[in-house]
Amino acid sequence: MSETLEELKAIVDNAPDGATIVDIEVDGFIDYLYVDKCADHGKQIKSFHNGDDSAIEYSNGNIRSLSDIKRIIELMEHIKGLKANTVNFNGGVKCSNIPNNLAM
């Protein structure tokens, strides 16, 4: 998937305490998942939505780590800053060779 910076921030901001994984379904539903270390082996990843341990097995979406999403946010913000600060010092005219699809 290709979420915007704002969409990724909303995913992180809405994550319940203890969530480590997010499942973004094709219909847009976002299910936050957590690891239940007390559960039997193979049944440790559970859904905050319904407590189900088959959350990943039946996913038709995009499973992602919240820590990865946080890192992507950091990188997107860094690229945004680079784009804003890229200056041609031969006259002070702003220019950039950063592709527009990376410019948030």
The whole-model pTM stands at: 0.71
Cα→Cα distances 87→11, 80, 103, Å: 33, 14, 15
Residue corresponding to tokens 């998937």: 1
- Backbone phi and psi for residue 41, each to the nearest 5 degrees, phi listed first: -55, 135
pLDDT at residue 12, as a whole number:
97
Give CA–CA dist 98/55, Å, rounded: 38
List per-residue pLDDT tens for the chain, 104 residues long.
Answer: 588 999 999 999 999 999 999 988 888 888 898 888 887 777 777 787 766 665 566 666 688 999 999 999 999 999 888 777 765 554 555 555 555 555 44
Q: Which amino acid is at 30?
A: I
Per the CB < 8 A criterion, the answer to whether 16 and 80 are in contact is: no
| CB 5, CB 73: distance < 8 Å | yes
Task: Count CA atoms closer than 13 A to 75's CA, side-chain side.
Answer: 7
